[in-house]
Chain A
Amino acid sequence: MGLKFLVVDDSVTMRRIVANSLKSIGYDSFVEAGDGREAITKLDSDGSINFVITDWNMPEVTGLELVKAIRTHEKISHIPILMVTTRGLKEDIIEALQAKVNNYIVKPFTPQVLKEKIDQILASV
């Protein structure tokens, strides 16, 4: 089964950039969500999503809260999660790792870095 990404970001611009980057590295199956709450709804309703790329800073439900929600949700806890965020402080990264994100990208990113991180995650899960 191919990869179907859920791209979660409150910025329309960033969702488009992540989607374009995914297309440029050969992935063209993805859905989008504007915040963590919408992401959870999409994950609940679409069982074919098998990879989550999420921002951290979002209204309603943040990316970190989304990661924690996914990890405690029995049916979807195994889904790989890649955090793509502007937060680059040590404590942020450690907090994300504690919440069990699979990998972490600091914005601005290149499609090459995105590919590298996706490949690393796929190789490790």
Chain B
Amino acid sequence: MENQSSMEQVFQKLGDLKQFFVFGQKIVPVFQKIIDFMHDIVPLLENVNNSIHDTTSKIPKAANQINNVTNATEVATSEILDIVDSMSMDMTRIKNELMDLRNGFFNQRVVLERFGEDFKHHNGTYENLKSSLSIDELESRVVALDSIIRKIENDSSNITISLQVQDITSQQLASVNHLIQSVQKRLASLLFDLGKQTDAVLPGIESSGEIDTRSFNENAEYDRSGKHQAFVDTLINNSQKASQEEIDKLFTK
């Protein structure tokens, strides 16, 4: 009886073994596919890894180029402001000259009137002199020049207002640089996890310097419509009517 029971156990084990081999026959192709897949995917992963490394190493250059753009536009803006300042000084000088001319015309007219009184019995003398001096015509030309100067002054003022775009775009660029630095940090961290050397990357972050996020407004926009100022004025007018408690309440909403 004991031998029979042992044989049954042996057959049962053999049955299990057979089933295992059958399962093995089924699973082997799957393993083969996985191995083939790994064989294909490893070079791709290596490519991804190298691409991340390349991209990460290029980021400091991109950040520096953005900084260079900001610096170049600041220098160019400063040069334009120098020219506008010089033009303003020239225009002030011209305006003063024109004012002197107008005063001169006024004085000439007074003298001419006096002359006309003194020589009223000399027929045509006053009229001839007045006509030859053509004070009115010269004065109207001075007035026209004066209005042109005022237009140039207004244009210069508009140029100055437009140059504020440099500050606004530099804040937008600083915001982009900050984003680039964040991406670089993440990629550097990823490379570190993947076991790549990060020495070539990390000094780049240090050399370009951490951007102080308080030094720029990521929502800065160049808008000359005046709608933002109108909004501010409305809020300030309302706040002047409201108590501090109401302002605080508004703020906590």
A binding-site residues for B, Cβ under 8 Å: 9-14, 16-17, 20-21, 24, 56-60, 62, 85-91, 93-95, 97-98, 103-111, 113
Contact = CB atoms under 8 A, between A and B. Distances in A.
A63 to B, nearest CB: 10
Contact of A16 (B81, B161, B236, B247): B81
B16 to A, nearest CB: 72
Contacts of A62: 214
Given A13-B163, A86-B168, A109-B161, A95 B217 contact: no
B215 interface: yes
A17 B77 CA distance: 10
B106 interface: no
B217 A56 contact: yes
Contacts of B163: 13, 17
Contacts of B232: 88, 93, 104-106
B68 to A, nearest CB: 16
B155 to A, nearest CB: 13
B165 A95 contact: no
- Interface size band for B: 35 or more
Nearest to B229: A106
B165 A11 contact: no
B164 A108 contact: yes
Interface of B: 74, 77-78, 81, 84-85, 88, 157, 160-168, 170-171, 212, 214-217, 219-224, 228-229, 231-232, 235-236, 239, 244, 247-248, 250-251
B235 A109 contact: no
A108 B229 CA distance: 9
B235 A94 contact: yes
A109 B225 CA distance: 10
Given A16-B78, A107-B164, A110-B161, A88 B215 contact: no
A88 B214 contact: no
B225 to A, nearest CB: 10
A22 B228 CA distance: 22
A59 B167 contact: no
Given A85-B217, A89-B219, A98-B248, A12 B235 contact: no
A111 B85 CA distance: 15
Nearest to B82: A16
Contact of B77 (A13, A59, A85): A13
B214 A20 contact: no
B81 A87 contact: no
Which 5 A-B pairs rank lowest in CB-CB distance, beginning with the nearest?
A: A86-B220, A88-B228, A108-B164, A106-B228, A59-B215
B127 to A, nearest CB: 45
B214 A12 contact: no
B19 to A, nearest CB: 70
A29 B169 CA distance: 29
A97 B239 contact: yes
Contacts of A107: 164, 167-168, 220
